Structure 1
């Protein structure tokens, strides 16, 4: 046993494994051998054997906290979070003051969405060991993840603001950074940071803007922190200098960004998955701006501005942000349809004899309030159908969950059509099966609404106080179709019901929507780019003057 432990400590893991196995062959209930061998096998990815060994260790009389802790790590690695929670709880019971066990308990609780208990465990870990970086990082990640989850629900803006501030309180303080005075005739060096520079709404909205930028005014640099390689990514790489920084830790990414001497860094993530807000909190560029991929305050003090428009943030709504709100003159988004988009089809109701409502949004946006209103619409429009599409609906359980939800609301499940993932071109073609799109709320459609409108399908929306609830409202306003948006839930239902009774209008609108879009600011990339360039230049000059004084 002593030789196996010595090899383990020396990093000679193969020799240690051999030694521990030899001990267990003679004495199968040797606690240190079971625990240490299980730990090594977990690190090597041999999870099932590791879990079996560690479960034996935990069950032994006189077992200790280390066996339970290692079992929790193995179970979490095996994607068995509920069992991991139980193991980490046992570790904290066996050694109540162990900060690292409390930390991992918090992480496992977050895995099963027990947010309050997870936050409590992580804060307790920091009380036990205030400088435990792992607990600080995981608590910040938890608060950010929870904040993003709250965005999908009908939560008060004050709660969202407070959650963002709680996250910001855990961020490191910003370092001072000197501004570079603007040089006459020189473009601003502007970095764009995101994990979504690919076939994702962020990448697809960004592409036409980059294509139209005047390189005499803006010199763009793209920093990719993740995502996949696809046609959109390849197109983005043709538009700007490209750096893959996905493998860099926070310190290395911060050093890289600072070394490039950017004038402006545009964060395209906010609190969405894969963000690097901890880096921006330290300040990576003299001027830092939030845009496009997020729709609320980051809470980060070093984020100077958020780019919005008056449709998303009307007068008085600026108080929802810790950042200063800067207004893009042509809107927050610029849309360009893909070349493979099919021609607009006639309303399917003309042939089928019934109205098909639908939504191709992420089901995370659907909650009881959304389904309540959609059920009211279906009940008021006889024989109407509801068409939903998302990758989750390849699973029978996900489809059944939706059908059951509408059955509880008195809607025949046979009126539901639930379609799974398909390629982008096929998805666009499936709008031929939809007469009227129903926008979820408060998290309304962004790129999804643009695509529905491009395919001739009117979108009924319900804008509320939060900017994310006003995305489709911004599109409808740009197109002169504000009559498709209601001010209350009752309005929302009535607009959809009334629209369903106007088939000739639907047919005309369907054939003219694409032309409306092309003539609107929403699809004017050149106009958008001029406004974007001017706004960033003004913000940077304002920053330089402010720091000079």
Structure 2
């Protein structure tokens, strides 16, 4: 069902209800009724409508998929997984069901699908619209496949809108550049925790910042900081994509920055229609948009080396150090809980993986269990926020000859508590296909070394960028064997470990990673280069700030 304009929802509800009064057993009408309830945010009634449809035909894959998708919205991963699996078993060629089954399985640390993964990855060849790009990142380090899938989705998106390149704003010479940032994450969210004072640091004598916020109203300190630092702050959640494009054009933007991409509640259609003369993908989604009207992608030479440019539809804007912003003024915890308070053993080496569970695959878990076997006085501290994940990880550990008592499960906690507890880890073990991103910078901020393996796609190279920018490139490995060897060495050679941890702490405020001021200046340079190139009538090209700047 196509999205219904908000003002027409009541009318749609009336029409569907009237149709159902004549044909109450019509499965398509029941599904449509559920869709309307969903858009009205009446989730319970939507579920009842879908369940009524399933009662008529329990093997209808469209209905099973609808129920699974709704349960995901309701944050019921386990039951959603069951419905997607049922749809997949009913129709092995249903790409939507298969990919969502994989996605929910990863969130539950249930890896039974991996033996079928290659077949599932190929299902998107014929029905690319049914592949959510974000689901690919954790299960496949193949940037070529990722680009293929997103470009196919974008072709459908681009065909639905007509890009309009006619802009009337005058030259930026002698005036401020107006730059619009589009996101639903301008609140206490991982993106804002990275950005910190970024919007306040942008030079207001050279830039006018316009914020297009389509996220929740929280009025927390992060949202207030954004509001206070913006030249214009707009709440746009209720606007359609086309209306948002029209508003941004009325605001006479020079540059539109998409900070969501294919993450939850992203609004790619805005950029397909083109909101500004220059459009930039930044920070939110760790991969190419595949969308022609998006001109640039912000990266660095570690995350997108020259050999990987071919996997981006955008030209690359190269930040001189790390593409990821970090907040130099991020608070250090006032109180650090003891290991005993965290349920961690005293006197043992604490390997940790506080990544989201959906990033962990059997490949890295094999290595982690090998480390536990060969470093007897060690445990793995791993994020497992529900019993399903704990049971699945314990089963996987047992299958590899490791007792469940060697796994210490961490719950989800507030960001302040998370940053405080991180200090009790000895070594962070990174995931392969989709690295720690925000979590990587949190680890090094806490003084915890992080061992990573640089992969092929952007998402698999972020942690390498983070530790390189903080002056510890020796924490980057290229192969699984090198990854294991380095982690084992750090866990068993006390002097080597102590030297590295001391260097990490010493480098915290003397290397580029947390040099927020220089980061803002370099970002500004790239934006200026892009808009001036546009005004010269030149096509986008790869842009680079040559000199590495530091204000430390």
**Any residues of structure 2 matched to 1:146-225 within 5 Å, and which?**
147-172=133-158, 173-178=162-167, 180-225=169-214
> Is 1:324 matched up with 2:318?
no
Contact 2:147/2:288 (8 A) holds in 1: yes
| Residues 119, 496 of structure 1: alpha-carbon distance in 2 compared, 3 angstrom cutoff | closer
> Is 1:301 matched up with 2:292?
yes
Contact 1:347/1:434 (8 A) holds in 2: no
Specify every segment of 5 or more residues in structure 2 that has no aligned partner in the other structure, as ranges: 1-9, 72-78, 104-116, 541-552
* In structure 1, C-alpha distance between the alignment counterparts of 2:294 and 2:389, rounded to whole Å: 39
| Residues 496, 347 of structure 1: alpha-carbon distance in 2 compared, 3 angstrom cutoff | farther
* In structure 1, C-alpha distance between the alignment counterparts of 2:422 and 2:85, rounded to whole Å: 44
> Is 1:235 matched up with 2:225?
yes
**Bigger CA drift: 220-229 or 43-52?**
43-52
* In structure 1, C-alpha distance between the alignment counterparts of 2:32 and 2:272, rounded to whole Å: 37
Q: Cα offset for 1:225? A: 2.2
1:367 to 361, 368, 373: 361
| Residues 425, 508 of structure 1: alpha-carbon distance in 2 compared, 3 angstrom cutoff | farther
**Bigger CA drift: 271-280 or 328-337?**
328-337
| Residues 228, 403 of structure 1: alpha-carbon distance in 2 compared, 3 angstrom cutoff | farther
**Bigger CA drift: 464-473 or 362-371?**
464-473
| Residues 449, 70 of structure 1: alpha-carbon distance in 2 compared, 3 angstrom cutoff | closer
Contact 2:213/2:234 (8 A) holds in 1: yes
* In structure 2, C-alpha distance between the alignment counterparts of 1:69 and 1:479, rounded to whole Å: 49
* In structure 1, C-alpha distance between the alignment counterparts of 2:102 and 2:301, rounded to whole Å: 35
Q: Cα offset for 1:177? A: 2.5
Cα deviation, 1:250-300, whole Å, max 9, x if unaligned, reads: 221221222211000011122222111122011110000111112221110
**Bigger CA drift: 453-462 or 107-116?**
107-116
Q: Counterpart in 2 of 1:289?
A: 280
1:439 to 430, 446, 466: 430
> Is 1:456 matched up with 2:447?
yes
| Residues 340, 354 of structure 1: alpha-carbon distance in 2 compared, 3 angstrom cutoff | closer
> Is 1:313 matched up with 2:310?
no
* In structure 1, C-alpha distance between the alignment counterparts of 2:85 and 2:18, rounded to whole Å: 29
The TM-score with structure 1 as length reference comes to: 0.78
* In structure 2, C-alpha distance between the alignment counterparts of 1:298 and 1:279, rounded to whole Å: 13
Cα deviation, 1:332-377, whole Å, max 9, x if unaligned, reads: 02211532534789999x9933211001111111011111121122
Cα deviation, 1:44-81, whole Å, max 9, x if unaligned, reads: 7546875786677679xxxxx9xx89977985687477
Cα deviation, 1:126-183, whole Å, max 9, x if unaligned, reads: xxxxxxxxxxxxx74x33x1x2111112332221121122122112242222363433
Contact 1:346/1:510 (8 A) holds in 2: no
Larger gyration radius, structure 1 or structure 2? 1
Cα deviation, 1:18-40, whole Å, max 9, x if unaligned, reads: x96xxxxxxxxxx8355599789
**Bigger CA drift: 70-79 or 248-257?**
70-79
Cα deviation, 1:449-504, whole Å, max 9, x if unaligned, reads: 11111111100111122222221211221222111121211110010110112334
| Residues 239, 539 of structure 1: alpha-carbon distance in 2 compared, 3 angstrom cutoff | same
Q: Counterpart in 2 of 1:354?
A: 348
RMSD across aligned positions (CA): 4.1
Q: Cα offset for 1:205? A: 2.1
Q: Cα offset for 1:224? A: 1.6
Q: Cα offset for 1:534? A: 1.2
Aligned residue for 1:433, secondary structure, equals coil
Aligned residue for 1:461, secondary structure, equals strand
Aligned residue for 2:423, secondary structure, equals helix
> Is 1:426 matched up with 2:420?
no
Aligned residue for 1:513, secondary structure, equals helix
Contact 1:186/1:216 (8 A) holds in 2: no
* In structure 2, C-alpha distance between the alignment counterparts of 1:483 and 1:342, rounded to whole Å: 31
Q: Counterpart in 2 of 1:129?
A: none
| Residues 168, 512 of structure 1: alpha-carbon distance in 2 compared, 3 angstrom cutoff | same
| Residues 355, 275 of structure 1: alpha-carbon distance in 2 compared, 3 angstrom cutoff | same
**Bigger CA drift: 267-276 or 106-115?**
106-115
| Residues 276, 34 of structure 1: alpha-carbon distance in 2 compared, 3 angstrom cutoff | closer
* Corresponding pairs, count: 491
Q: Cα offset for 1:433? A: 2.6
